[in-house]
Amino acid sequence: MSKVLIIGAGGVGQVVTHKCASRRDIFSEITLASRTLSKCDVIASRIPSPVKTARVDADNVSEVVDLIRSEEPNIVINVALPYQDIPIMDACLETGVDYLDTANYEPPEVARFEYSWQWAYHDRFAGKGVMALLGSGFDPGVTNVYTAFAAKNLLDEIQELDIIDANAGSHGQPFATNFNPEINIREVTARCRHWENGEWIETPPLSKRESFDFPGGIGPMNIYRLYHEELESIVKHFPTIRKAQFWMTFSENYLKHLEVLQNVGMTRIDEIDYNGQKIIPIQFLKALLPDPASLGPLTKGKTCIGIIARGIKDGKRKQVYIYNICDHEACYREVASQAISYTTGVPAVVGAMMMLTRKWRKAGVWNMEQFDPEPFLKELEIMGLPTVVLDGGEWGEL
C-alpha cells in the first residue's frame, strides 16, 4: 500500500493515473498534480475511485518540495516535460522520496539529449538512500528491458542492436504529433547519432531510410534513422555492442509538413522578436497544432516497437527480434488515450510497481537495463503490453 504523486496531466499522465487506479493493491492513494489544475480535475473525474488533484509549477523546486511534504508520497512519477526532470529530482532529493521519469532532461535552450545531467545525481541519491529510475516509458524504457532480456537469456554477447519504432496508426489530421509537439519536433529535427565501433557517428536528421516488414499485420513501412536517448545508456551498459541504431516510421505527409515548417523557421527553439514581443517559434507552433490528447478518439491502427539484437550464442551468429504490438482503438476503449500515450504510461506504472514492491530497489540513479528484466516484463504483460520474442534466425540486414 503506497502513495503516489503523479506530476503532469497530459496524454501520458492520463494513462498513468488510470493504470495506477486499476492497481489499488499497490497505489492505495493517488495525487495528480500539474501546471493546469483543470486538466488534473478532468482526468480525476473519469476515474471511479478517488484521485486527489493539485496545482504545481514543477520548474519551481520549492513548490514541488511543498507538495511532496503535504502529500507524503512514497514515489513521484514525473510525466511532465523533460525540462522538469532536474527540478523534480532536486525536490525528491531534498525530501528523500523515490523518483521515476520517462524522458531524459533537456535544457530548453538546446535540443541536446544526454543523461549526463541526471547521472551526475547518482552519488547524492545513493548517499541519501533514494532511488531514481530514468526513462521508464517504451522507448526509452521497455526497449532497454528487451535488450537486457536478450543479453540475459538469448545471446552470450550482443554485437549489433536496432531499435525500431513503428506507428502504423492514422489520425486523419493533416499534421499532428502523437506526443507533446515541442518535444517530438525537437527530437526528430536533432542531428542523428548512431554508435559504431566505439564512437558516435553524426549524420543529418532522417538522412538514412530503409524499409522494414513489420509483424502483426502491419507489413512493410519506411523507417528513418534518428538519435534516441536510450542508445547512450544501452551502449554504456552493454559494451560488447559494436553498432546501435534507432529507427522510426514517418508518413510522407508528416515529413513533407516537417520539411516546410523547418524551411520557414517554425521549428526554431531560439527566441525571436515579433512586434516587440519575444516568442519561440516552436512553442507558437505547438499552440496551433492539435493537442495529442485530442487524437485519442480519431486514431486507428497499431504500433509496433521492438529491438533486433544480433550477436553470438554458443559460438554461432544469431539474431533475435523482441517486440510489442499495441492497438490504438483498444487503448482508447480502455483508458481514453491513443497507443503512444498508452505505451509510455503503462511502463511508467510498471516501473513504479517494481520500485514499490522492491523487486527493483537500489539507492542511486539507474537506467532500466540495469535491473532484472523478467519481473518487469511479466507485470508489463499483465498491465496490457505483451511481449513477443522471435528467438533465432540468420543474421540479416534490416
Which residue has its beta carbon closest to ligand NDP? 10
Select from 97, 99, 132, 140 the one that contacts ligand NDP (CB under 6 A). 140
Biggest alpha carbon distance in the chain? 68
Applying the rule CB under 6 A, the residues between 24 and 63 that interact with ligand NDP are 34-36, 39, 56-59
- Residue 10 or 169: the one with the smaller Cβ distance to ligand NDP is 10
Closest approach of Cβ 318 to ligand NDP, in Å?
Answer: 27
Q: What CA dihedral angle connects 234, 238, 244 and 249, to 10 degrees?
A: -40
- Residue 8 or 73: the one with the smaller Cβ distance to ligand NDP is 8
Closest approach of Cβ 334 to ligand NDP, in Å?
Answer: 17
- Residue 7 or 188: the one with the smaller Cβ distance to ligand NDP is 7
Cell numbers found for residue 284: 507558437
Asked if 197 contacts 242 with a C-beta cutoff of 8 angstroms, the reply is yes
Closest approach of Cβ 179 to ligand NDP, in Å?
Answer: 3
- Residue 61 or 255: the one with the smaller Cβ distance to ligand NDP is 61
Q: What track of x and - describes contact with ligand NDP for positions 258 through 297 (by CB under 6 A)?
A: ----------------------------------xx----
**103 part of the interface to ligand NDP, by CB under 6 A:** yes
Select from 5, 9, 133, 325 the one that contacts ligand NDP (CB under 6 A). 9
Closest approach of Cβ 16 to ligand NDP, in Å?
Answer: 9
**76 part of the interface to ligand NDP, by CB under 6 A:** no
